[in-house]
Structure 1
Amino acid sequence: MPDPSAAATSRWNDLRDRAASSAAMVVIGIFAVHFGGVWFQMLTVFVTAILMWELARMIRPESIVFSMMLAAGTASILSGLLGTHEQWFLLLIFLPAILGTFAMSRERLTFFCFAVMIVAAGWGLVSFRDEYGGIWLYWLILVVIATDVLGYFAGKSIGGPKFWPRVSPKKTWSGTAAGWIGAGLVGALFLVFTDAGWGLVWVSMLLSLASQMGDIAESALKRRMGVKDSSALIPGHGGLFDRFDGLLGAALFLLVIALFVDIPRVDL
């Protein structure tokens, strides 16, 4: 007969590694967001370049040199464009995605779509921080954390029907709903720090959904490529893409909101 205590232990055996890696990245992220300027730019350029490297390695694992060159080119172009606001010039941020697509021997459309999302989110978050202040990025980060943490614990504790078993077999409806609730609570908290109305609660829940879709999109990519993790960059716990997939989805949703909604600037 299976040992119930052993099953319970195995259910939570990734908690320590997950918490440690998440805590380290949260501390670094909060530091960069707080000080802004070159600190946030450097972190964003680094993360964007690594995500491009991992994307290329998942799709074209046989070419180490290509993935390294793609990461270096992404970092160079993005860092060189962060200070400009010329719209025609900003089209150059998509150059790594375009050149990388032509260099792919397979899955060109897949690479292009993910690469465009990565570089757009990288440049967009820096511009968003400069224009609207750091409070909104704290809100973004905390919504993603609440979505991930509450979804993890609810999914492990409650279980139940799967949200999308063909793509993400571990994600449950209980965890998904718990993430929405957590995000709504974060939105309610930030009513204290901003002039936003109660609509921020619903926007936070939509942001949570976008975060979950980012997670599912990366899960679908890994299943399509036949890989377990985006890389082995974080010992025993995958790559940066595995930790930033939700933030990527939420960031893109936030940038779309900024195109249609008048967001008030809130300084730290």
Structure 2
Amino acid sequence: MAGAEPRLRRLRSVGTDLSVRLASAVVMVLVAGGALWLGGWVWLGLCGLAALGVLWEWNRIVRAFAAGPLAEIAWLFGGACYVGGAALAMAMVRNGALGPDAGAGGYGPLEVLVSFLLPVIAVDVGAYFAGRMIGGPKIAPAISPSKTWAGLGGGAVAASLVAIANEALDIGPGGAMPGVSGSGIALAVFAGMLIAVIAQSGDFFESWMKRRAGVKDSSGLIPGHGGLFDRLDGFIAVFFVLFLVALLPAYLG
């Protein structure tokens, strides 16, 4: 009987943590989904607030490991470019498509969800389950002990399946008839693999920063989930690459 009470307390603690995580996740989905649906200034405002929150967390982490004021300034400038570029791309895909000459309409909420957001979410889900079920060699245990090559493969498969479904159902932009060709499948698989690598690289980058700073989470802004940077690291990496590839040349040219 003496050992039952500690176990009961642990079970209650796990249940409480799970409830907090679930409640936070529901709130995040509702807020992000509502802003995505409304678009316009609402979506722009959410992207801006998220970017400010991530930059605040970025600065907190940097101050814990930057060697001197010049290094800190360089890191802060890099963070502003990295997070700001990703936020701009995220805002533009909904409000103004992928370039200054693409018009003010942007993509619809379903197109943004399926073409830009779901593949990154699929990477996290696929990597989590593949890593848990298969395990195997770690990618970089000194940086992130839980990340495995099997998880990366699972994330790539999951993102590829989303991309194939997007192509087959013609949910995303382009194409006139539902269906997918062999070249379309190959392109979808390549896109899924590329998104998985970029998203996981963003995860590793944030883990490396936190390990240097000696912190577990970027902050405690989201109950049960850590900080905004913890939740958005993969999205930031993917959208920053989108910014470099699609937006930056258009503005510079």
CA shift in 2, pair 1:114/1:206, >3 Å: same
Q: 1:53 aligns with which of 52, 56, 60?
A: 56
Count of residue pairs brought into register by the alignment:
213
Instruction: Compute the displacement of 1:155 (Å).
Output: 1.2
The CA distance in 1 between the partners of 2:138 and 2:21, in whole Å, is 21
The CA distance in 1 between the partners of 2:28 and 2:193, in whole Å, is 23
Residues 103-150 of structure 1 deviation map (CA, whole Å, 9 limit, x = unaligned): 946443333322211011112221232233134421221111111111
The CA distance in 1 between the partners of 2:242 and 2:135, in whole Å, is 30
SS for the counterpart of 1:25 is: helix
Q: Which residue number corresponds to residue 195 of structure 2?
A: 207
For structure 1, list consecutive stretches of 5 or more residues without a partner in the other structure. Answer: 1-5, 62-100, 263-268
Q: 1:131 aligns with which of 92, 96, 100?
A: 96
- Say which is worse superposed, 13-22 or 246-255, in terms of deviation: 13-22
Give, as a single letter, the amino acid of the residue that structure 1 aligns with 2:74.
L
Q: Which residue number corresponds to residue 228 of structure 1?
A: 216
8 Å contact from structure 1 (residues 151, 178) kept in 2: yes
Aligned-residue sequence identity (percent) comes to 38
Q: 1:174 aligns with which of 121, 128, 150?
A: 150
8 Å contact from structure 1 (residues 121, 251) kept in 2: yes
Q: 2:75 aligns with which of 105, 110, 117?
A: 110
**Under a length normalisation based on structure 2, what TM-score does the superposition of the two structures give?**
0.74
The CA distance in 2 between the partners of 1:180 and 1:146, in whole Å, is 8
Higher RCO (C-alpha under 8 Å, 6+ residues apart): 2
Asked whether 1:190 is paired with 2:155, we answer: no
The CA distance in 2 between the partners of 1:110 and 1:128, in whole Å, is 27
Instruction: Compute the displacement of 1:212 (Å).
Output: 0.8
Q: Which residue number corresponds to residue 93 of structure 1?
A: none
8 Å contact from structure 1 (residues 54, 241) kept in 2: yes
The 5-angstrom pairing of residues 37-76 of structure 1 reads 37-60=40-63
**Under a length normalisation based on structure 1, what TM-score does the superposition of the two structures give?**
0.70
Asked whether 1:122 is paired with 2:87, we answer: yes
Larger gyration radius, structure 1 or structure 2: 2
Give, as a single letter, the amino acid of the residue that structure 2 aligns with 1:120.
G
8 Å contact from structure 1 (residues 44, 126) kept in 2: yes
The CA distance in 1 between the partners of 2:19 and 2:132, in whole Å, is 14
8 Å contact from structure 2 (residues 24, 224) kept in 1: no
CA shift in 2, pair 1:143/1:152, >3 Å: same
Aligned CA RMSD, in angstroms, stands at 3.0
